[in-house]
Structure formats: structure tokens, C-alpha cells
């Protein structure tokens, strides 16, 4: 009878279902996108290795005192300090030193030219191992090429695609990087479409070449990065403590004072980014709940209209023996069926839309957020239950004689 009553007012029921469906679609869709973003972040950062950490220059700090704000600056990480650490660190781990040469370089090959947005890094022979890069074509630097600082380069996928159209054709070609000539010996595999780690628009050069040709005269302003990858993940914490102790000695940090350098674990940034997404999740939940509140009000109004229109029918049912509980159940069923119908439509649309955006924009994989699906069904059940209470109670309280007299 509940199903037949819904069919009898199909237009009104469909409109109400769609209102509920859009609320659930917004909730499930946005939360599916967020899950896709989280998966993309974890995937990209896990490629760096869950057992790696980096020492980098500590940013200037500000302190407020009687004389106002006073900047506290920290010394850069010098080449001598980085190379001494690499030679002295005896923990079972791989150590790599790298430096940024430019973030606005231009690469050229023949008539092809990139925009001035190429990042150029000077690296050693261990960099690719600790950073999780894979080669698409060619090879990485040899120890001899690193030691001699030969004019060779390993380029990112976007650079190869822009200059050569077919990345594999880049190997053994001579390119110009800020008018300096380099022979391409390798092309890196693309990191995908994620926007959190932009590593495809890069060029890697031997560290001695960068120090000689790119950083000459900039020694006092150049800070080096040290990346350490422990041999096993369970050795990570011990490796960090030993490395910090050694580097404090090298940097001559007085006992009792804080480190004058930053330690960034490979999963720190991923954790920070994911934690920031909690605000988006909260906003999405609020949007869905507000939409569902509007749908609940609309559904209650429809149920009240339905009770008024079916007064004679309700009176007839009561006259032939229908109990108040029978009428309560019927109207509850109508309300819940409408809500669950809207929930199913909204969940399907939300999953499709969310995955479409997550895969197309962030390069994630197909997701089925079962927790959010269950939440959507439960919320819609509650909405249907609450929306049907007052109309059902009103119908159950009708006097059958007065109801039969209703025109």
C-alpha cells in the first residue's frame, strides 16, 4: 500500500527523491574525491620511501620582545657540512646530497623551447635511489660522471615530451639548459597527474657541474639538502636520532639548544596535507546535512499534504478495522521508501562523479567509499523516520467518522 501510494503521487515523490539525491551526491561525491586525493598523496609519498628523511635549512623565526619583533636567522647548510655528514654517517643507510640550481631555467632543443619554469637540481649518485625515481629510458649517472662533473643530464617526463614529443628519442641528444650544453643520458618515468609532487618538469645534473657552472659566486646563499634512507623501515627512528646527533656536532650546535636545521620525514608532508583535508571533509558533511535538512522539511510537507488528500481513505481504513499502528507503519514506510530511493540515486551519482574527478584530475584509482555509503543510507533512513513521525501521528489520530465526512 505504501508503494502504491508513492506511485499514485509519482511526480511529487520523484522531486523529493531528487532533492535527497542531490544532498547525498554532494556528500558522497566530495568525500570520494577526498579519499582519492588521500590515495594519490600516499601513493606519491610512498614512492619516496617510508624510511627516508631530509635535513634542510631552517627558516627564519620571529620572536616578540620588548623591542618588538626580532628575526632569528639560522645558518644555511654548507657544502662542507653536507659532504662531511655523508662521509661520517656510519648508520646502515644511504645518504644523498642535492642542491637546487634554478627553478626558472629554460631548456632548448633545435626549434623547441620550454617555458622558463624548469627546475634544475644538482645531485649525487645516490639521489635517485633515495628519492624513489624510476627511469623510463636511458640510464642514471655513473659514479665517474658524478665525480668528474661531466655535462650530462637526466630529464623529467614533461621536459622530454615538450622537447622531443617522444620521450625515448631524448636519449643521447644534446640540449641547452640556460645556454649550457648537456647530453641527455636518461628520461625519468612520469610521476602521474598528481599536483602535489611536481617532479616531471625537472632536469637533474651532476652536483660538481652545478657547483662549478651554476652556483659559482653564490656559495654564501646556497643551502644544500641531505636525504637519508635507512636500509629498513623499522630502523627509521634510530637513524633519525643518530643523524641529528652527528649533524649537531658538525654544525657545532651548543648542548641544550634546539637544532638549527629542520628534519623532514618522507611521510610528514603527506600527513600534513591529509590532515588539512579534514576541513574539506567537514565542509562537505555540513553541505550534505544542510541539503538533507531541506529535504526532510520538504518530505514532511509532502507527507502532510498526502494525509490531507487521503483523509477519506484513512477514515475508511480505520472504519473497517485498521489500527493506529497500521497507519503509522504505512506512512513510515512511504517516507522511508522515498528517502532510501533518493539515497540510492545520490550514492550512485556521487560515486560516479567523485571517481571521475579523482581519477581524471588526481590520477587515483576507482574507489568505493563503503563507510560514506553506509553513512548516506543511515542518514536518509533517519530523515525518512523523522519526516514521517508527525504526518503519521496526525493520520493515526483522525476520527474515522469525521474522516469519512471529509470531501
Residues in the chain: 407
pLDDT of residue 63 exceeding 60? no
In this predicted structure, what is the pLDDT of residue 285? 72
The whole-number average pLDDT for the span 173-183 is 95
In this predicted structure, what is the pLDDT of residue 265? 80
Band of residue 202 on the pLDDT scale cut at 50, 70, 90: very high
pTM exceeding 0.75: no
Please, what is the Cα angle at 280 between 276 and 286, to 5 degrees? 140
In this predicted structure, what is the pLDDT of residue 276? 66
What CA–CA distance (Å, rounded) separates 130 from 228?
Answer: 7
In this predicted structure, what is the pLDDT of residue 334? 79
What CA–CA distance (Å, rounded) separates 171 from 160?
Answer: 9
Band of residue 192 on the pLDDT scale cut at 50, 70, 90: low
The whole-number average pLDDT for the span 306-318 is 69
Q: Is the dihedral of CA 74, 54, 211, 171 positive or negative?
A: negative
Between 14 and 76, where is the model more confident? 76
Give pLDDT tens digits for 322-379: 677 777 777 778 788 888 888 888 888 888 888 888 777 666 667 777 877 887 788 7
Nearest to 222, CA basis, from 130, 334, 97, 109: 97
The whole-number average pLDDT for the span 250-271 is 81
Give pLDDT tens digits for 90-106: 999 999 999 999 999 99
Give pLDDT tens digits for 271-291: 666 666 677 777 767 776 777
Band of residue 294 on the pLDDT scale cut at 50, 70, 90: confident
In this predicted structure, what is the pLDDT of residue 206? 96
Q: Scanning the structure block, which residue is given the C-alpha cell 643521447?
A: 172
Do 288 and 382 touch, CB atoms closer than 8 A?
no
Band of residue 4 on the pLDDT scale cut at 50, 70, 90: confident
Which percentage of the chain shows pLDDT scores above 70?
78
What CA–CA distance (Å, rounded) separates 72 from 353?
Answer: 49
The whole-number average pLDDT for the span 167-177 is 92
User: What φ, ψ does residue 215 adopt, rounded to 5°?
Assistant: -110, 10
The whole-number average pLDDT for the span 214-225 is 81
In this predicted structure, what is the pLDDT of residue 119? 93
pLDDT of residue 193 exceeding 50? no
Band of residue 195 on the pLDDT scale cut at 50, 70, 90: very low
Amino acid at each position: 500500500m505504501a508503494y502504491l501510494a508513492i506511485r499514485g503521487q509519482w511526480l511529487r515523490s520523484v522531486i523529493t527523491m531528487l532533492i535527497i539525491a542531490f544532498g547525498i551526491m554532494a556528500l558522497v561525491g566530495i568525500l570520494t574525491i577526498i579519499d582519492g586525493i588521500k590515495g594519490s598523496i600516499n601513493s606519491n609519498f610512498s614512492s619516496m620511501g617510508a624510511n627516508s628523511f631530509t635535513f634542510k635549512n631552517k627558516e627564519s623565526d620571529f620572536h616578540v620582545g620588548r623591542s618588538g619583533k626580532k628575526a632569528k636567522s639560522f645558518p644555511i647548510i654548507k657544502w662542507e657540512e653536507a659532504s662531511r655528514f655523508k662521509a661520517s654517517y656510519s648508520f646502515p643507510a644511504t645518504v644523498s646530497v642535492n642542491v637546487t640550481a634554478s627553478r626558472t631555467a629554460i631548456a632548448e632543443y633545435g626549434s623547441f623551447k620550454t617555458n622558463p619554469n624548469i627546475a634544475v637540481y644538482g645531485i649525487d649518485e645516490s639521489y635517485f635511489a633515495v628519492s624513489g625515481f624510476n627511469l623510463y629510458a636511458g640510464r642514471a649517472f655513473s659514479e665517474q660522471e658524478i665525480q668528474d662533473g661531466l655535462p650530462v643530464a637526466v630529464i623529467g617526463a614533461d621536459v622530454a615530451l615538450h622537447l622531443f614529443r617522444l620521450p625515448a628519442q631524448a636519449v643521447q641528444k644534446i640540449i641547452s639548459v640556460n645556454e649550457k650544453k648537456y647530453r641527455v643520458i636518461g628520461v625519468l618515468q612520469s610521476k602521474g597527474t598528481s599536483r602535489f609532487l611536481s617532479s616531471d618538469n625537472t632536469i637533474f645534473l651532476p652536483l660538481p657541474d652545478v657547483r662549478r657552472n651554476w652556483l659559482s659566486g653564490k656559495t654564501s646563499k646556497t643551502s644544500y639538502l641531505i636525504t637519508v634512507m635507512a636500509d629498513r623501515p623499522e630502523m627509521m627512528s634510530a637513524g633519525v636520532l643518530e643523524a641529528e646527533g652527528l649533524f649537531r656536532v658538525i654544525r657545532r650546535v651548543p648542548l641544550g639548544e634546539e637544532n638549527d636545521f629542520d628534519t623532514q620525514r618522507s611521510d610528514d608532508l603527506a600527513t600534513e596535507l591529509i590532515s588539512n583535508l579534514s576541513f574539506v571533509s567537514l565542509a562537505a558533511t555540513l553541505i550534505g546535512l544542510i541539503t538533507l535538512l531541506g529535504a526532510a522539511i520538504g518530505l514532511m510537507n509532502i507527507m502532510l499534504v498526502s494525509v490531507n488528500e487521503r483523509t477519506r481513505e484513512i477514515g475508511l481504513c480505520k472504519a473497517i478495522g485498521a489500527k493506529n499502528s497500521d497507519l503509522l507503519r504505512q506512512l513510515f514506510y512511504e517516507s522511508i521508501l522515498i528517502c532510501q530511493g533518493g539515497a540510492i540515486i545520490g550514492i550512485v551519482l556521487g560515486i560516479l562523479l567523485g571517481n571521475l574527478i579523482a581519477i581524471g584530475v588526481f590520477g587515483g584509482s576507482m574507489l568505493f567509499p563503503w563507510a560514506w555509503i553506509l553513512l548516506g543510507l543511515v542518514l536518509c533512513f533517519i530523515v525518512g523516520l523523522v519526516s514521517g513521525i508527525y504526518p503519521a501521528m496526525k493520520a493515526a489520530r483522525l476520527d474515522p467518522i469525521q474522516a469519512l465526512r471529509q470531501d
